[in-house]
Amino acid sequence: MERGLESCRRSESNDLRAPPITAAVDLQSRVQETLDLLSPQELSNFRIFLKSVDEEPRVTPLRLELAGNSKERLAGLLVQHYCEPASASRVLIKVLQQLRRADLLRRWQGAGAADDREIPRKILKRSYDCVDGELDCYDLRGKRKAFIMCVEKNRPGAHRDICLMEEWLGQCRFEHTQCIDPNKMELIEKIRSFRDELNESKDDVGCCLVTLMSHGEKGFIKMEDGEKVSLEDIFEMFNNKNCPALQEKPKIFIIQACRGEKRDSGVETDDEPMESDDVAEKRRLPTFSDYFIIYPTQADHVALRHPRTGSVMIEAMSAVFKQYGNKWHIADFFTKVNNRVVHTEFHLHEEPIKVSLVMESTLTRFVYF
């Protein structure tokens, strides 16, 4: 870090205006965060593309050679030559465009992007096993819409679930619609109205997230009065035929409800109190695609909810997000959540209960909030 700062100070003698030290520290940190997300091959290409960037003063081949393969030194070199955030942004954008890293471009696009604090910075986890070296992400720049249904009556801890979900959705920049303690018809009408608003929206919709928290059994959620609503019927409302606004957009469903009556007591290991709960020319899509569905437990099993702290899955989601933020692709995020759930100690009537989340996906790209 010090190397980059000293270089920036030396640049004053070359008529470059150096920013304050704190700004330089932040700029170098942001540049290095971006470089850290490049594979070794991408980093090598980055150095090649940097030589041809039409931004003065140009980075010389000698300076690049002196920087070696160190990402820290390369970040320092960029700060030395492009102390102004706007200049650094232009350079990073030009190089990332040639690398085809659209996921990282968003962090630098727009004048003064380095000083934008409205949207939290993301550190995207990516796989280096992609054949073409490119990570294809959904474009979530449109409106993010969410629907929360929760049965609070006779479900102690449910109110905390609502609070945690609202907090999580706010951090992920979702606008949400609430539906609390509905009967069967009220739920169907409200969720259909929510779907219709998506279809009629004049603004582009980037993503839809539906959270259903209630009692349940396999394939159904239950209302407070015992009436059942088919999950398949709800999923179908948002498919590519019934919700064209969400074609090729991620549709995420978080289901917090039992899926049956079975209880898994777990298996004791050496490692050593709660409650349950033109036709020929048209491109075609499957009727169901771009779905991501999370269940809090295996098929036919109970879900877990604490009367004070709320549902185990919802609480784990909140805790993992506080620790890692939005750095993970959604499947990786819920894998982290599942790890926490699996290792949660849970008892029902003094008997141990263990659960594992279940993820079902027809996503075609990666989802980063």
Q: So which residues are the catalytic ones?
A: 215, 258
Answer whether 311's CB lies under 8 Å from 213's CB.
yes
In sequence order, the β-bridge partners of residue 301 are 262
Instruction: Determine whether 37 is exposed, middle or buried from the number of CB atoms within 10 Å of its CB (0-12, 13-18, 19+).
Output: buried
Task: Give the whole-angstrom CA distance, residue 366 versus residue 369.
Answer: 10
Task: Give the whole-angstrom CA distance, residue 12 versus residue 19.
Answer: 10
Query: What DSSP string describes 305-363?
Result: EETTTEEHHHHHHHHHHHHHTT-S-HHHHHHHHHHHHHT---EETTEE-----EEEE--
* E strand spans, the chain: 143-150, 175-180, 205-213, 215-217, 220-222, 228-230, 251-256, 275-276, 291-295, 304-306, 310-311, 347-348, 351-352, 358-361
Instruction: Determine whether 176 is exposed, middle or buried from the number of CB atoms within 10 Å of its CB (0-12, 13-18, 19+).
Output: middle
What tokens does 15 get?
Answer: 């008529």
What tokens does 140 get?
Answer: 């979530």
Q: Which amino acid is at 76?
A: G
Backbone φ/ψ region at 290: left (φ over 0), alpha (ψ -120 to 50), beta: left
Q: At what angle do helices 21-36 and 2-10 cross, to 10 degrees?
A: 120
What tokens does 86 get?
Answer: 């706007």
Q: Cis peptide leading into 57, omega within 30 of 0?
A: yes
